[in-house]
Structure 1
Amino acid sequence: MAEQQLSFDAAKYKNAQREQWNKDGAAWRRWNPTLDRWYGEMTRQMLDLARIQPGQRILDIAAGAGEPAVSAAKRVGPGGYVLATDISEGIVELALQVAREHGLEQIETRAMDGEKLDLPDASFDAVLCRLGLMYMPHPVTALREWRRALRAGGRVAVVVFSTPDRNSWGAVPASIIRRRAQLPPPVPGQPGPFSLGGPGALEGVFRQAGFANPEVRAVPVPHRMGSAAEYVQVAREAFGAFNAMMAHLSPQERESVWNEIEGSMRSFESPGGFEVPGECLVGAATK
């Protein structure tokens, strides 16, 4: 099946993504301890599926503020190499700072479009992408590029969110924002947090890109905080997509939307704290 053509401006979308992460990257880094607590287990499983070994060369796409590049660098050791890339120039600078704070000289960073790699063929042992592929306008194109950069027998491993009904952490705020901001429904095939979460979707794009033996597993990712208010603070500061959805609203309207979101998220509070459901798909395949 040919990759679906999207009825929106992919170049404009990518520019907006770059600007968003240049602006919100520092907040993402500031919340790294919380994010690592939420996403640490799925990151470990992704690295296991990538079969990373000491001395290997690893490419991290959409690296964000340092993960999973840092965890991969610890696995390859000082004799290995990790190139962390992201479309945002600002966030890869933060990733390099995090790497140096960990004493990991084997990590380098470059700003790069994940759908068009400025890298030679067959130059990496594994490609990683944690929570990035589903935001790319042309995921099959991206995976074909990653396959080109892999040596024969190399592995690709990715993490995406599954379906909205299993990810209330994002689906609840997004539905409120969409209603309050009077946004139309997403275009079929449009990139977004749940665009590759449906049954067979991730395996399908692996196969379309030419990869063999795809395997996908679901991993629970509950988002835990002390309260709904604390969770909303993380969402406001680190989840730039929510802010982008209501960028056209006035500051007062945006504040009102966040207040409604916090009220809805209180349903996930209990005497033990706050926990909202989440689920990721961890997938891997071989060149």
Structure 2
Amino acid sequence: MPSPEQIRDGQRAAWARLSTGWEKWDSIIMDQLGPAGTAMIERLDIAADQQHLDIASGTGEPGLSIARLAPKGRVVLTDLAAEMLDVAARRAAAQGVSNIETKVCSADELPFDDASFDSVSVRFGYMFFPDMAKATAEFARVLKPGGRLAASVWVSPDDNPWTSIAMQAITTEVELPPPAPDGPTMFRCAAPGYVSALYADAGLLDIAEWDVPLELVTDSPEQYWEMISEHVSLAVAALQQVDDKARERIRTHAIANVTAFEQGAKTRVPGLARCIVGTKRA
């Protein structure tokens, strides 16, 4: 298995390449993932002067939403990929959000002092950390006593046809290697209680988890495929292995299957996330 440093280097390069696709499809992605961010924010008790840390921020959410709720506070957006944070900074400027700063860093080596933040959020980043226990310990370290950590992860592939439809189409042409038993993958944290156990080991209390339904809404099955093929990391990597004819066969397969989710003028493909919250001992 690759070392943590090798995993991070690969992730940094991959997400740098994906930043263009994420910016292109920003409005659809944010609408899809928004309910998870909203559910996390509701449990963080954001105050006007909140000092908040957003981990694996990508293009900026839920950090930017939290910054708007804390006009007298500060939100630090962190990510491995500077290119993703560049998109977040542009989004912040476009939205008139000025109480944010960005920092390129790894989740398991945070460059912040102990007890620096009132709250920490990790939306759909946990499953990609090489060492999730070490990262969780870091989140607990930088939290102030009584501060809260909120995260979201994906539940099983069967609960997320928005991605499984695309990946099943890809496997008709590409032989994907099985994931490493405990390596970073999209559904690594799907089991109930998985992240809660990490919280408990890091000393967090009052841990709760609950499921949040999501929905990927596009204008058509064709737009669904175009979007997925440009911003989902595993799909993008797999499609680079095939020629144009194979790509077209994959596209045709995915579009045929996703038509089952057409509703009127939109294509609505469901998904399911799990949110987890915990509190540092006061």
Deviations 1:14-66 (A, max 9, x none): 22211122122122122221122212222111111112111010000111112
Distance 1:253 1:11 in 2: 34
Alpha-carbon contact 2:220-2:265 (below 8 Å) kept: no
Alpha-carbon contact 1:178-1:184 (below 8 Å) kept: no
Distance of aligned partners of 1:180 and 1:13 in 2 relative to their CA distance in 1, 3 Å threshold: farther
Structure 2 unaligned spans of 5+: none
Q: CA deviation at 1:116?
A: 1.3
Alpha-carbon contact 2:172-2:250 (below 8 Å) kept: no
Partner of 1:231: 224
2:114 corresponds to 1:114? no
2:63 corresponds to 1:74? no
Q: Which runs of 4+ in 1 moved over 4 A?
A: none
Partner of 2:185: 192
Partner of 2:147: 154
Partner of 1:27: 21
AA at the equivalent of 2:25:
W
2:128 corresponds to 1:105? no
Equivalent residue runs for 1:124-143 within 5 Å: 124-143=117-136
AA at the equivalent of 1:139:
M
AA at the equivalent of 1:283:
I
Secondary structure at the counterpart of residue 187 of structure 1: coil
Deviations 1:198-229 (A, max 9, x none): 12212122112222121111011021222211
Partner of 2:169: 176
Alpha-carbon contact 1:143-1:209 (below 8 Å) kept: yes
Secondary structure at the counterpart of residue 142 of structure 1: helix
Equivalent residue runs for 1:29-68 within 5 Å: 29-68=23-62
Distance 1:199 1:179 in 2: 30
Partner of 1:256: 249
AA at the equivalent of 2:6:
K
Alpha-carbon RMSD across the aligned residues, in angstroms, is 1.7
Distance 2:61 2:45 in 1: 17
Q: CA deviation at 1:251?
A: 4.4
Is the deviation greater in 13-22 or in 267-276?
267-276
Distance 2:180 2:239 in 1: 17
How many residues in Structure 1 have an aligned counterpart in Structure 2?
280
Distance 1:252 1:143 in 2: 44
AA at the equivalent of 1:31:
W
Distance 2:235 2:122 in 1: 21
Q: CA deviation at 1:157?
A: 0.5
Q: CA deviation at 1:179?
A: 4.9
TM-score of the superposition, structure 1-length normalised? 0.91
Distance 2:120 2:36 in 1: 16
TM-score of the superposition, structure 2-length normalised? 0.93
Secondary structure at the counterpart of residue 249 of structure 1: coil
Percent of residue pairs identical: 29
Distance 1:185 1:42 in 2: 28
Secondary structure at the counterpart of residue 144 of structure 1: helix
2:21 corresponds to 1:17? no
